[in-house]
Structure 1
Amino acid sequence: MNRLIVLAGPSGVGKGTVVRALRDRHPEVWLSVSATTRDPRPGEVEGKHYFFVSDDEFSRMIDEGELLEWATVFGGHRYGTPRGAVDSQLADGVPCILEIDLQGARQVRESMPEALQVFIAPPSFEVLVDRLVGRGTEDERERERRLATAKDELAAQDEFDEVIVNDNVIDAAGALERLLLPSR
């Protein structure tokens, strides 16, 4: 059985950190690379962290059905998952993770209901605030926008098949590993 996990949770909850810890133990797990219209942050690499595309290119990808899901988030930037790469990895039997937002998870549930939907939650809202502030990648206005979005996302966690509380990265990665690779 091919295993596809759709992983979502609020900004700053540690989704990327949990996935990195899992992939350190299991490099065979494929993590989709999203396309985005936002500018790269310092240290981000094209094709590794995101595919950075223009608004026109993103619109073309939507029009031609090249995105499995897409959404406009965080002040107008668009993010989406290229469909072809996901289909190819699943066809090869590779365990896959899509690390996406709530809107995207809802779209994937419609188009790929067989995917396991997993929500990464913080131990508390206060911890989420501390993590988001601590990473220092957004200005105050952007942080406030992301925290408002986080409240909506946290309220939607019951829509997911599984919820993993990220109070410890190693434990959260272990829980994700058991879901994605149950026979290992």
Structure 2
Amino acid sequence: MNDSASIRRVGSSEAETRISALASVLLDCVEDGASVGFMAPLERAKAEAFWRRVAAGVAAGDRVLLVAEDRASGEILGTVQVLLGLPENQPHRADVAKMLVRRSARRRGLGAGLMRAAAQAARGAGRTLLVLDTVTGSDAERLYQSLGWVRVGVVPGYALMPDGAPCDTTFFYLPLPAG
């Protein structure tokens, strides 16, 4: 990652005040065809409602929200979440969700930086295992493999792309050393 951006944790009150900026990142990624749980066209109101739920989850301690920002402008360039609010028989693990990087900010190391920060946040929360899923054959899949994530397997037709086409999904895990 270059020095023009920084990654940091965002609290619930700041997330609330930056709903519009967070929604813009999500809208950009869905417009680009990212399969991140939303269908195209994604309305801004729906994207903003999603981020309000995220902010509530941060306030409840159920998730960590990390953002990558341009140091000069403060513009949010990317984001990732660490989901901590899992069933009581899984206190050792967390899910990584919604790793998003604006099209204009890709290929600068932000995705890798966000993923490293997510692992650090999970370790800080006492987690020793992370899991995630991504579109099979995507740039994200290659990124996760390069960062040492272990590929579990592929579920054919697991999700839909924003245009409605089915896509295969690859599942990964990453063991985290304690401490």
TM-score, length of structure 1 as denominator length = 0.31
TM-score, length of structure 2 as denominator length = 0.32
User: Larger relative contact order (C-alpha < 8 A, sep ≥ 6)?
Assistant: 1
Q: Which has the higher strand share?
A: 2
